[in-house]
Structure 1
Amino acid sequence: MTAAALDVPIDIDVIRETIHTDGIIGCPGAFSRAWVEQLREDVEAAFAEAQSREGGAVGRGPNRYYVEIHPEALRGFVDLVDHPWVRATCETVLGPDYQIVEVGFDIPFAGAKNQPWHRDFPAPRETLEEGRLTSLAFNVTCVDTEEDMGPFEIAPGTHWDEGEEFDHGMFPPKNEYSRFEERAVRKYPRMGDISARSALTVHRGTRNESATSRPVLVLGVDAPGAGNDEKHDLAVTRAYWEGLPQRVRDHLDCPIVEELTPITQKHTIEGLVMGEA
């Protein structure tokens, strides 16, 4: 474990039960604040680069953007994916052969509006028929989240909703919003905290009424065969690959290239572009 990754309690039974029941779990104080400050520098540099070209950043609502990046854009990538709590959570929920499929970040700027309630993609057969989760999204805040900064809001337990009436399997009808609002929990993570959630748990970003952006790193991880890698374009250079620990290589099944190509975002979620009506 590097100096950036702090020692935190790990209880696999708590991880398994909490994600199964709530669809989300947090780990306070997983990283040093200095590590997060470096992370924010890298995120802001990646956002500036993405904004400079067509297709580099995708809208997820007014004044809200998502950018997918390659692992090499983050100086702390290995610290993140090799953190003992991250590894334990992946192995507990997804099995020992989990695969890292996505690295990116979401930034709601000042003026970002409430998103509609949604899940990130339709529930797969394994979840609907077998009661098995096949993906996780880890989030790392780059700031101390305050009430007026548009905190993340989630409806615990909704990862088991079949979603047959959801538009595109992702957006519940507005006449069901009260059910999610009754369950809704807002999250106020601090720098150094990390969370893991099922992308099926119904959630939304809320209105950012502050003058401050709230960048959040996203790490997407799949169980074998989940197929979410098809929505993403991770790649690493050969030199970077050769410098990775074998324990990280084992979970990074992506092209190894001589030169990286900037990512054009493929995972556009059309229902989020306009924000909540």
Structure 2
Amino acid sequence: MEKAAANPLTQPAYETAPIMGGLYGDGIIGLKGAFGREWVQQLGEDIARLYADALQRPGGALGRGPKRHYVEIHPESIRGFVDLATHPWVVAVCEAVLGPDYKIVEIGFDVPNPGAMNQPWHRDFPAPDDTLVGRRLNSLAFNLTTVDVTEDMGPFEIAPGTQWDLPTNFEHGMFPPKSNSPRYEQRAQRKLPQMGDISARSALTIHRGTANQSDKSRPALVLGVDAPTANNAERHDLQITRAYYATLPESLQQHLTCRLVDELEPIVQGHTIEGLMMGEA
């Protein structure tokens, strides 16, 4: 994981080669200390409020297994959206892997609560032809924890290099057969990010959330970004009010695939991943 430069005014450009090497190799990279702890605490407050609200609305939160939810949100519902979407490392990673015309198509958060179980190994969606045939990555997921993650909090686990695996006998193109599990477990890396760290990964790299044996939840923000050839925007409903859109820098506006509205509408979560609902012991 890289370390953020101490002074943003003298921060060097992030090199394309290590970004490409990391995401095309292991399938995940990270930047330590991208944001200050106070900024992250503010994000955590916003997520806690949005989570409580989502749990009260039918379709507001999607189950991702026992005691585990995903909530898609409106960008303007969190105070740090512009900071995140325009962070130099985020921009550099998107441009390096997805090209200059990348589009932000999703923002939301995962919450593994106390008692959440091991998820089955999975991809977040089926691998597209761009990857299976063209051997190109056409989407990325950025993750930002709102807490300091410890071993007992159900850390994210990933099997490096598996973004290139052919989906032979994968259920729904996403869930590999149990016979593959020993290979993933041998390669598995558990991630223990701290407040302020950010990661970027291919959602095709085989991964899972592990059992949360602590008494704390582990919220993590998710930012989904596509290359022009991807179609993940179809799975989401990114809404922005015209008033808020007008306040955004033009450099950010051109990277948003969104629906402009006069008033925000409640998001009914649509990207259900049925195979995650049972969890594993």
TM-score tier, shorter chain, comes to: over 0.9
Aligned to 1:207: 211
Aligned 8 A contact 2:157 2:207 in 1: yes
Q: How high is the sequence identity, in percent, across the aligned residues? A: 63
Q: Is the 8 A contact 1:6 1:32 kept in 2?
A: no
- 1:247 matched to 2:243? The reply is no
Contact 1:64 1:106 in 2 (8 A): yes
Match of 2:178 in 1: 174
Q: Write the distance in 1 (CA, Å) between the matches of 2:64 and 2:13.
A: 34
Contact 1:103 1:217 in 2 (8 A): yes
1:228 aligns with 2:225: no
1:49 corresponds to 2:53: yes
> What is the aligned counterpart of 1:219 among 223, 226, 231?
223
- The alignment's C-alpha RMSD in Å is 1.5
Structure 1 residues 145 and 6, CA gap change in structure 2 (3 angstroms): farther
User: Aligned pair in 2 of structure 1 residues 4, 258: CA closer, same or farther (>3 Å)?
Assistant: farther
Residue of structure 2 equivalent to 1:155: 159
Distance in 1 between the 2:228 and 2:190 partners? 31
Q: Is the 8 A contact 2:233 2:257 kept in 1?
A: no
Match of 1:23 among 27, 31, 55: 27
C-alpha distance in structure 2 between counterparts of 1:108 and 1:133, whole Å: 27
Alignment of 1:132-143 (within 5 A): 132-143=136-147
Is 1:76 the counterpart of 2:80? The answer is yes
Tell me the number of residue pairs that the alignment of Structure 1 and Structure 2 aligns. Answer: 275
Is the contact between residue 6 and residue 29 of structure 1 (CA under 8 Å) also seen in structure 2?
no
Q: Are positions 1:101 and 2:105 aligned together?
A: yes
Unaligned runs of 5+ in 1: none
2:272 pairs with 1:262: no
> 8 Å contact 2:86–2:252 — kept in the other structure?
yes
Residue of structure 2 in register with 1:189 after alignment:
193
| Maintained 8 Å contact 1:5/1:32 | no
Q: 1:12 Cα deviation (Å)? A: 1.6
- Tell me which residue corresponds to 1:85: 89
Letter in 2 for 1:152: F
Q: Is the 8 A contact 1:122 1:169 kept in 2?
A: yes
Offset at residue 9 of structure 1 (A): 6.7
TM (norm. structure 2) is 0.95
Relative to the length of structure 1, the TM-score reads 0.97
How far the C-alpha of 1:164 sits from its partner, in A, is 2.4
* Alpha-carbon offset, residue 253 of structure 1: 2.0
Contact 1:105/1:215 (<8 A) preserved: yes
Structure 1 partner of 2:3: none
- The C-alpha deviation readout for 1:195-232, integer Å capped at 9, x for no partner, is 00000000000000000000000000000130000000
Find the aligned partners of 2:9 and 2:47 in 1 and give their Cα distance: 19
Distance, in Å, in 2 between the alignment partners of 1:5 and 1:82 is 15
Aligned-partner SS, 1:179? helix
